[in-house]
């Protein structure tokens, strides 16, 4: 059976989703208000291209939402009445109340595209952590910093933190409660944050769109060893046993996680297992980010006057 998938949004990231859906054998109808995006979709063979999602054909097996974060809820709400599964890019929303409303209304119709939960390296870190090879897990640490934010609708923390919370969730099985955070930027435009979540094991995430370097790191520290993925394109994770300077290597697939998560969604549309993150879990991520931002707020207040 050839799947019919509706894609809402075919811009900077949506065009990659279109490419991979087609690689998986889907016929894809595209909705995008941007003329350049529609032109690209036509050029690469979308079955139908329209300017508004209302004009997408009804006979779709499922939908993928790749619009700006601030529009996710609006788009998802418009699609819910079609009674088909929806795969939405992360985060589900930048508003806790809106995310909760989606989770309450459609907990198992809406799923989150958190590609790092499908990354072979992250999955390998999860497996090695669960195997006992590292000893008792003490800490998961992630770093995701870069210069600049390509998104205009939300700030750096809303853009980057969902990636790292998804990684923590996949490795530890949950998003631990945020305990402390320090951020930089302004209350309404938080460019970055360092946050501490949980305890034994703890998670430390660092994200920023205002660092003049591009750095990615995932580290899982146990009592006996540390496992590391320091390059998203690496063909292996590294495991450092206590006292050893040279790591052991565990080979991993280099298949792109976007293709892997879209394959899972397509298999779900054909009766397979659902994607890893439903709307309820997606809402927990939004709640965690909101909590982290709140914890960071007092640390970004105006400094006290030095005058006497």
Task: Look up residue 8 and give its two tokens.
Answer: 């809402």
Residue 306 has pLDDT above 90, yes or no: no
Q: How many residues does the chain have?
A: 308
Mark whether 55 and 86 lie in a shared domain. Answer: yes
CA atoms of 118 and 169, how far apart (whole Å): 12
pLDDT in tens, 38-75: 999 999 999 999 999 999 998 899 999 999 999 999 99
Residues 227 and 162 placed together within one structural domain of the fold: yes
Asked, for residue 137, whether it belongs to a domain, the answer is yes
How far, in Å, are 290, 298, 303, 304 from residue 307 at the CA level?
35, 21, 12, 9
Mean per-residue pLDDT of the chain: 95
Same domain, 168 and 204: yes
Q: Assess whether 89 and 139 both reside in one domain.
A: no
Residues 193 and 227 in one domain: yes
Number of folded domains in the chain?
Answer: 2
In tens, the pLDDT along 113-140 reads: 999 999 999 999 999 999 999 999 999 9
Helices (H), 24-111: 35-43, 72-80, 96-105
Mean pLDDT score, 251-269: 98
| Residue 74 in tokens | 């609006």
Cβ atoms 157, 190 nearer than 8 A = yes
Q: Whole-structure pTM over 0.75, yes or no?
A: yes
- Same domain, yes or no, for 221 and 243? yes
Whether residue 59 sits in one domain with residue 166: no
Q: Judge contact between 56 and 50, C-beta under 8 A.
A: yes
- What is the distance between the alpha carbons of residues 179 and 120, in angstroms, rounded to a whole number? 29
Same domain? For 217 and 126 the reply is yes
Say if 103 falls within a structural domain. yes
Residue 9 has pLDDT above 60, yes or no: yes
Q: Which domain holds residue 110?
A: 4-115+261-288
Q: Are residues 89 and 43 in the same domain?
A: yes
Q: Does pLDDT of 303 surpass 70?
A: no
pLDDT in tens, 81-119: 999 999 999 999 999 999 999 999 999 999 999 999 999
Please, which pLDDT band fits residue 152 given cuts at 50, 70 and 90? Answer: confident
pLDDT for 210 beyond 90 = yes
């Amino acid at each position: 059976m050839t799947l019919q998938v509706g894609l809402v949004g075919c811009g900077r990231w949506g065009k990659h989703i279109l490419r991979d859906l087609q690689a998986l054998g889907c016929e894809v109808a595209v909705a995008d208000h941007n003329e350049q995006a529609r032109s690209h979709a036509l050029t690469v063979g979308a079955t139908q291209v329209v300017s508004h999602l209302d004009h997408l054909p009804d006979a779709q097996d499922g939908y993928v939402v790749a619009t700006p974060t601030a529009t996710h809820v609006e788009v998802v709400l418009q699609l819910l009445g079609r009674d088909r599964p929806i795969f939405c890019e992360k985060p589900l929303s930048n508003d806790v109340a809106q995310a909760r409303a989606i989770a309450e209304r459609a907990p198992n119709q809406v799923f989150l595209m958190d590609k790092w939960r499908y990354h072979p390296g992250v999955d390998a870190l999860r497996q090695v952590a669960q195997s006992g090879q590292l000893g008792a897990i003490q800490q998961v640490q992630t770093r995701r910093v870069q210069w600049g934010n390509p998104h205009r609708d939300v700030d750096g923390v809303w853009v980057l933190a969902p990636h790292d919370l998804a990684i923590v969730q996949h490795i530890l099985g949950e998003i631990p409660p945020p305990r402390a955070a320090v951020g930089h930027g302004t209350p309404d435009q938080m460019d970055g944050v360092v946050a501490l979540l949980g305890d034994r094991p703890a998670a430390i995430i660092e994200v920023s769109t205002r660092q003049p370097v591009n750095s990615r790191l995932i580290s899982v520290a146990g009592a006996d060893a540390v496992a590391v993925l320091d390059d998203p394109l690496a063909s292996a994770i590294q495991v450092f046993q206590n006292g050893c300077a040279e790591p052991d290597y565990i080979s991993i697939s280099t298949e792109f996680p976007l293709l892997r998560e879209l394959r899972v969604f397509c298999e779900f549309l054909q009766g397979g297992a659902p994607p890893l993150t439903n709307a309820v879990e997606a809402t927990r991520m939004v709640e965690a980010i909101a909590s982290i931002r709140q914890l960071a707020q007092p640390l970004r207040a105006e400094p006290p006057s030095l005058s006497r």
